Amino acid sequence: MINLIGTYECKVDAKGRLMVPSALKKQLAPMMQDGFVIKRAVFQNCLELYPMEQWNVLMKRINKLNRFRKKNVDFIRKFTAGVKTVEVDANGRLLIPKDLVGFAGIEKEIVLSSAINIVEIWDKDKYEQALDDSSDDFADLAEEVMGNDDFDEIS
């Protein structure tokens, strides 16, 4: 199980390359050889970077969907739109495909934010706006999501 930690600010060049911060690169090192999948996020205009192992776990769930149901086929099409495999090169750089740069509105300053087992890639201004927009509601959200009395004890 992967538990990535940290939020990192960095820059992306005109070609869409970013230098993976060393602290994040150390955490991702065991997964570098298998590569990554990058895709559009479902709920926000940001990108999600999945280690290949995590992507394969997700695909096992999606492969169980009945493809003779239109809503399932529509979901699969939209969920996988723009999906690409990517690798961190020998210099520690990751290339974000141009179409995904456009989707996320990435300019120059970006934020790499760990989200447990994946990394979200945000345009810095959009990331800060998303945090500001949800700050008032976070206490209520935390109570609703984590405040369940039946929540399993952490072992």
Burial of 35 (0-12, 13-18, 19+ CB in 10 A): middle
pLDDT at residue 141, rounded to an integer: 77
Per-residue pLDDT of the chain (155 residues; tens, 9 = 90+): 789 999 999 999 999 999 999 999 999 999 999 999 999 999 999 999 999 999 999 999 999 999 999 999 999 999 999 999 999 999 999 999 999 999 999 999 999 999 999 999 999 999 999 988 766 677 787 788 888 766 555 55
**Kind plus residue range of the DSSP H or E element containing 148:** none
Q: How far apart are CA 138 and CA 92, in angstroms?
A: 35
pLDDT at residue 62, rounded to an integer: 96
The domain over range 7-146 is classified in CATH as 3.40.1550.20: yes
